[in-house]
Every structure is written in structure tokens, then in C-alpha cells.
Amino acid sequence: MKKVSLTTALAAFAMIAASTATVADNVDWRNSDSYYKDLYDLRQLHVEFHKAVSHAGINAATKAKALEELLALWTEDGVLVISNVTYSGKGTPNTASCDPGALTLCDFYANHAGGLVLGHDWVSLTPIFTEAISVLDRHNADIYFQCIYFDVNNSDALKSNSTFGVPDMHARAKKVHGHWFFSYAESESIAPPTLDVY
């Protein structure tokens, strides 16, 4: 019979104890207040997105404010993929990183997003049944929602319906220094749901 050194036995015991503690910690975390706070904070991230894009194109000052608010919702290295075009990194308003063709998030929101086009007074809504949030661990989450844009100046005509995340691959959010941010998303236009609103 082979002898096991005390050091090897203690190392093995430490590994087993650490993995057991991690499993127990994750189980306890899912039943903790911090887990439910994460869910709440992720819903607020979604709400802040819709607040920023709604009424964003009514004038230049409002657009500039909306652009700042949208960029603040993303990690520094955030990635957004729309129609096979990838926008990477935040970029900074009023710099070359925000110019058309810079392929940053700033470029997308400033130069391509319909809700931020000057002259557009669009409101973005999400049918609550389309929202999906899954907290994966203390620092990562999946998030999905739809953005249905209505034109306030045109009898609330439906202007666009797009997704944040795609149904088979939700967007990602990441917690950085205690705050949730979008970190990766694919977006696509989809057929709007039937809405019975009078």
C-alpha cells in the first residue's frame, strides 16, 4: 500500500472543502437578498435603456443626453451586433470614436439608432411577457427584451420592433464594481406582437 504524505492529504482535503463551500455558497446565494437585488438591478438596467431611447430625437440637447445615458449602461468593452455589423467599445461623444464608420457603440447610437434620429419623437416599450432575465452567478447574467417603438407625433404609429438579445442567444450583462452593465448583445428586427391597446 502506498503511503500518502500529510501535505498531499491536506491539499486534497482543502480542494474538497473549497469546492463544497463554493457549491453551498452558490446555493445560499440563490436564496439570498443579494440574488433578488441582482434581479431588481437588472430590471432597472432594462428600464433605464427604455428611458434613454424614448423621446431621444426631439432636439440636439436631448439626443446628446440620451447618448450619454445609453453609453453609461454598457461596459467599456461592450459589443453590440446588428445585421452582421459589430460595434465594439463605448467610444466617446464629440470625438472621432463616435463618427459614422467608427463601429463603436457611440457610432451606432449617434448615427444609426432610429430612436435617436433628430426629429423622431419615438417611445420604446416592452411587452412584459417578452422580458427574460437569468442571473447566472454573482457577476454574469443573461437578459432579453423587445423594443417596440411608437411615433408620438404620428398617432402612435408603430415604427420599429427589435430585440435586445435574440431568442436563442440572450444578451449578456456583467456586474462591475457592484453595478450591472450590458456587455454583449445581438439585435434583430422581428414582427411586432399583436397588441390590443385602445
pLDDT in tens, 26-68: 556 566 778 999 999 999 999 999 899 999 999 999 999 999 9
Residue 82 makes CB contacts below 8 A (sequence gap 6+) with 108, 112, 186, 187, 188
- pTM for the model stands at 0.77
pLDDT of residue 195: 53
Pair type for strands 171-176 and 179-187: antiparallel
167 against 37, higher pLDDT = 37
pLDDT of residue 3: 52
Average pLDDT over residues 106-134: 86
Integer Cα distance of 74 and 171 in angstroms? 12
Q: Looking at the predicted structure, is the pLDDT value of residue 121 above 90?
A: no
Q: Which residue has the higher pLDDT, 121 or 196?
A: 121
Stated as kind and residue range, the H or E segment containing 183 is strand 179-187
Q: What is the pLDDT of residues 178-194, one digit of tens each?
A: 999 999 998 876 665 55
Looking at the chain, the whole-number percentage of residues with pLDDT higher than 90 is: 46
Cell matching residue 87: 460595434
DSSP assignment, residue 104?
Answer: S
What pLDDT score was predicted for residue 192? 58
Span 118-129, average pLDDT = 82
Contacts of 86 (CB under 8 A, 6+ apart): 79, 80, 103
pLDDT at 67: 96
C-alpha cell at 95: 470625438
* 155-177: average pLDDT: 75
* Contact predicate 147/53, CB 8 Å: yes
Per-residue pLDDT tens for 86-113?
999 999 999 999 999 999 999 999 999 8
CA–CA separation, 144 vs 169, rounded Å? 9
Residues counted in the chain: 198
Grid cell at residue 128: 412584459
- Give the C-alpha distances (Å, rounded to integers) separating 18 from 15, 23, 45, 90: 5, 9, 33, 38
CA 58 and chain centroid, separation: 24
